[in-house]
Structure 1
Amino acid sequence: MSADLSYRKLKSNFNTSSVRKINLVVAQLRSRSVDFEPEVVAERVKMIKGMFDGTRFDVCGGLSMKKLGFDMYSFVDPIVNYVIFAEIKPRSKLDQTPK
Protein backbone atom coordinates (compact mmCIF):
# COMPACT_ATOMS: atom_id res chain seq x y z
CA MET A 1 0.00 0.00 0.00
CA SER A 2 2.87 2.36 0.81
CA ALA A 3 4.49 1.68 -2.57
CA ASP A 4 1.22 2.37 -4.35
CA LEU A 5 0.77 5.70 -2.54
CA SER A 6 4.39 6.68 -3.26
CA TYR A 7 3.90 5.87 -6.94
CA ARG A 8 0.79 8.02 -7.13
CA LYS A 9 2.60 10.92 -5.43
CA LEU A 10 5.58 10.63 -7.79
CA LYS A 11 3.31 10.32 -10.82
CA SER A 12 1.40 13.47 -9.85
CA ASN A 13 4.69 15.43 -9.69
CA PHE A 14 5.66 14.52 -13.26
CA ASN A 15 4.50 16.56 -16.20
CA THR A 16 2.48 14.03 -18.20
CA SER A 17 3.05 15.94 -21.43
CA SER A 18 6.82 15.39 -21.30
CA VAL A 19 8.07 12.29 -23.06
CA ARG A 20 10.58 10.29 -21.07
CA LYS A 21 13.34 8.56 -23.00
CA ILE A 22 14.89 5.24 -22.07
CA ASN A 23 18.59 4.89 -22.85
CA LEU A 24 19.35 1.74 -24.81
CA VAL A 25 22.63 0.18 -25.92
CA VAL A 26 22.51 -2.40 -28.69
CA ALA A 27 25.24 -5.01 -28.20
CA GLN A 28 25.89 -7.74 -30.72
CA LEU A 29 27.37 -10.79 -29.06
CA ARG A 30 29.14 -13.74 -30.69
CA SER A 31 30.03 -11.69 -33.77
CA ARG A 32 32.05 -13.17 -36.61
CA SER A 33 34.73 -11.40 -38.65
CA VAL A 34 32.25 -10.24 -41.32
CA ASP A 35 30.22 -8.44 -38.63
CA PHE A 36 33.22 -6.17 -37.94
CA GLU A 37 33.50 -4.87 -41.53
CA PRO A 38 33.05 -1.05 -41.44
CA GLU A 39 30.44 -1.12 -44.22
CA VAL A 40 28.38 -3.74 -42.34
CA VAL A 41 28.64 -1.74 -39.11
CA ALA A 42 27.57 1.47 -40.92
CA GLU A 43 24.52 -0.28 -42.41
CA ARG A 44 23.48 -1.75 -39.05
CA VAL A 45 23.90 1.63 -37.34
CA LYS A 46 21.53 3.17 -39.92
CA MET A 47 19.02 0.35 -39.33
CA ILE A 48 19.16 0.72 -35.55
CA LYS A 49 18.77 4.50 -35.75
CA GLY A 50 15.80 4.12 -38.08
CA MET A 51 14.12 1.38 -36.03
CA PHE A 52 14.20 3.41 -32.83
CA ASP A 53 13.50 6.83 -34.35
CA GLY A 54 10.33 8.25 -32.82
CA THR A 55 10.21 5.71 -29.98
CA ARG A 56 10.84 6.11 -26.27
CA PHE A 57 14.14 4.24 -26.67
CA ASP A 58 17.12 6.56 -27.06
CA VAL A 59 19.96 4.81 -28.91
CA CYS A 60 21.89 8.01 -29.58
CA GLY A 61 24.19 8.37 -26.61
CA GLY A 62 27.57 8.04 -28.26
CA LEU A 63 28.68 4.57 -27.14
CA SER A 64 30.08 3.38 -30.46
CA MET A 65 32.96 1.38 -31.85
CA LYS A 66 34.61 4.64 -32.99
CA LYS A 67 34.32 6.18 -29.53
CA LEU A 68 35.81 3.00 -28.06
CA GLY A 69 38.98 3.70 -30.05
CA PHE A 70 38.55 1.74 -33.29
CA ASP A 71 39.51 4.29 -35.97
CA MET A 72 38.42 2.05 -38.84
CA TYR A 73 34.83 3.10 -38.01
CA SER A 74 35.53 6.82 -38.45
CA PHE A 75 32.85 7.24 -41.16
CA VAL A 76 30.17 5.41 -39.15
CA ASP A 77 27.69 7.57 -37.19
CA PRO A 78 29.44 7.84 -33.79
CA ILE A 79 26.37 8.75 -31.74
CA VAL A 80 24.43 5.46 -32.12
CA ASN A 81 24.90 3.06 -29.20
CA TYR A 82 26.04 -0.04 -31.09
CA VAL A 83 28.85 -2.22 -29.77
CA ILE A 84 30.12 -5.50 -31.20
CA PHE A 85 31.72 -8.30 -29.21
CA ALA A 86 33.59 -11.16 -30.83
CA GLU A 87 32.66 -14.75 -30.14
CA ILE A 88 34.90 -15.98 -27.36
CA LYS A 89 35.20 -19.72 -27.21
CA PRO A 90 36.13 -21.20 -23.84
CA ARG A 91 39.55 -22.81 -23.69
CA SER A 92 39.63 -26.54 -23.20
CA LYS A 93 41.49 -27.98 -20.24
CA LEU A 94 44.23 -29.18 -22.60
CA ASP A 95 44.92 -25.59 -23.76
CA GLN A 96 45.48 -24.26 -20.25
CA THR A 97 49.00 -23.85 -19.01
CA PRO A 98 50.01 -25.97 -16.02
CA LYS A 99 50.69 -24.15 -12.76
Structure 2
Amino acid sequence: MRGVGEVEQSVRRQLEYLFSPRSVAVIGASNTPGKWGFGVFNRALRTSSDIRIYPINPNAQDVLGVKAYKRVVEVPEPVDLAVVVIPPQAVPAAMEDCVQKGVKA
Protein backbone atom coordinates (compact mmCIF):
# COMPACT_ATOMS: atom_id res chain seq x y z
CA MET A 1 0.00 0.00 0.00
CA ARG A 2 1.30 3.45 -0.92
CA GLY A 3 1.68 6.18 1.65
CA VAL A 4 0.14 9.64 1.42
CA GLY A 5 3.48 11.16 0.37
CA GLU A 6 3.82 8.70 -2.50
CA VAL A 7 0.28 9.41 -3.70
CA GLU A 8 0.85 13.18 -3.56
CA GLN A 9 4.08 12.81 -5.54
CA SER A 10 2.32 10.67 -8.15
CA VAL A 11 -0.50 13.20 -8.51
CA ARG A 12 2.01 16.05 -8.79
CA ARG A 13 3.86 14.20 -11.59
CA GLN A 14 0.60 13.61 -13.46
CA LEU A 15 -0.39 17.29 -13.17
CA GLU A 16 2.97 18.32 -14.61
CA TYR A 17 1.91 16.80 -17.93
CA LEU A 18 -1.15 19.06 -17.91
CA PHE A 19 0.41 22.29 -16.66
CA SER A 20 4.04 21.93 -17.80
CA PRO A 21 4.03 19.69 -20.87
CA ARG A 22 7.18 19.20 -22.92
CA SER A 23 5.18 18.29 -26.02
CA VAL A 24 1.64 19.13 -27.16
CA ALA A 25 -0.46 17.75 -30.00
CA VAL A 26 -3.18 20.06 -31.27
CA ILE A 27 -5.77 17.69 -32.71
CA GLY A 28 -7.68 19.71 -35.27
CA ALA A 29 -4.94 22.28 -35.95
CA SER A 30 -5.91 24.34 -38.99
CA ASN A 31 -4.53 26.80 -41.54
CA THR A 32 -7.91 28.55 -41.73
CA PRO A 33 -8.13 31.81 -39.76
CA GLY A 34 -11.29 31.95 -37.70
CA LYS A 35 -11.30 28.24 -36.88
CA TRP A 36 -10.59 27.13 -33.31
CA GLY A 37 -7.81 24.87 -34.59
CA PHE A 38 -6.08 27.85 -36.17
CA GLY A 39 -6.34 30.02 -33.07
CA VAL A 40 -5.19 27.35 -30.64
CA PHE A 41 -2.28 26.18 -32.80
CA ASN A 42 -1.17 29.71 -33.72
CA ARG A 43 -1.23 30.78 -30.06
CA ALA A 44 0.68 27.66 -28.98
CA LEU A 45 3.38 28.32 -31.58
CA ARG A 46 3.77 31.96 -30.58
CA THR A 47 3.88 31.41 -26.82
CA SER A 48 5.58 28.04 -26.33
CA SER A 49 9.16 28.33 -27.52
CA ASP A 50 10.45 25.51 -25.30
CA ILE A 51 7.56 23.09 -25.97
CA ARG A 52 7.32 20.86 -29.04
CA ILE A 53 3.98 21.52 -30.76
CA TYR A 54 2.55 18.98 -33.23
CA PRO A 55 -0.37 19.82 -35.52
CA ILE A 56 -2.76 16.93 -36.12
CA ASN A 57 -4.87 17.32 -39.25
CA PRO A 58 -5.71 14.48 -41.66
CA ASN A 59 -6.16 16.92 -44.56
CA ALA A 60 -3.00 19.03 -44.29
CA GLN A 61 0.66 18.48 -45.14
CA ASP A 62 1.60 21.28 -42.77
CA VAL A 63 -0.09 23.81 -40.52
CA LEU A 64 1.41 27.28 -40.37
CA GLY A 65 4.62 25.86 -41.80
CA VAL A 66 4.92 22.98 -39.32
CA LYS A 67 4.74 19.38 -40.58
CA ALA A 68 1.28 18.00 -39.84
CA TYR A 69 0.38 14.44 -38.87
CA LYS A 70 -2.85 12.73 -39.85
CA ARG A 71 -3.23 11.09 -36.41
CA VAL A 72 -1.54 11.59 -33.06
CA VAL A 73 -0.22 8.01 -33.19
CA GLU A 74 1.99 9.11 -36.13
CA VAL A 75 3.91 11.69 -34.07
CA PRO A 76 7.45 10.29 -33.79
CA GLU A 77 8.03 11.41 -30.19
CA PRO A 78 6.08 11.04 -26.93
CA VAL A 79 3.18 13.46 -26.47
CA ASP A 80 2.49 14.83 -22.99
CA LEU A 81 -0.70 16.79 -23.71
CA ALA A 82 -3.38 16.71 -26.40
CA VAL A 83 -5.58 19.72 -27.06
CA VAL A 84 -8.68 18.59 -28.95
CA VAL A 85 -10.46 21.08 -31.24
CA ILE A 86 -12.45 18.85 -33.58
CA PRO A 87 -16.15 18.13 -34.17
CA PRO A 88 -17.79 16.03 -31.42
CA GLN A 89 -18.35 13.02 -33.68
CA ALA A 90 -14.58 12.73 -34.29
CA VAL A 91 -13.60 12.89 -30.60
CA PRO A 92 -13.99 9.16 -29.71
CA ALA A 93 -11.53 8.06 -32.43
CA ALA A 94 -9.10 10.83 -31.44
CA MET A 95 -9.29 9.72 -27.79
CA GLU A 96 -8.59 6.12 -28.80
CA ASP A 97 -5.51 7.35 -30.69
CA CYS A 98 -4.39 9.31 -27.61
CA VAL A 99 -4.69 6.21 -25.44
CA GLN A 100 -2.81 4.12 -28.01
CA LYS A 101 -0.06 6.77 -28.23
CA GLY A 102 0.22 7.03 -24.45
CA VAL A 103 -0.66 10.73 -24.25
CA LYS A 104 -0.51 11.70 -20.58
CA ALA A 105 -3.06 14.54 -20.42
Structure showing greater Rg = 1
Per chain length, whose mean CA-contact separation is higher, i.e. which structure has more relative contact order (CA < 8 Å, sep 6+)? 1
**Larger relative helix fraction:** 2
Tell me the TM-score normalised to structure 1 length: 0.29
**Normalized against structure 2, the TM-score is what?**
0.28
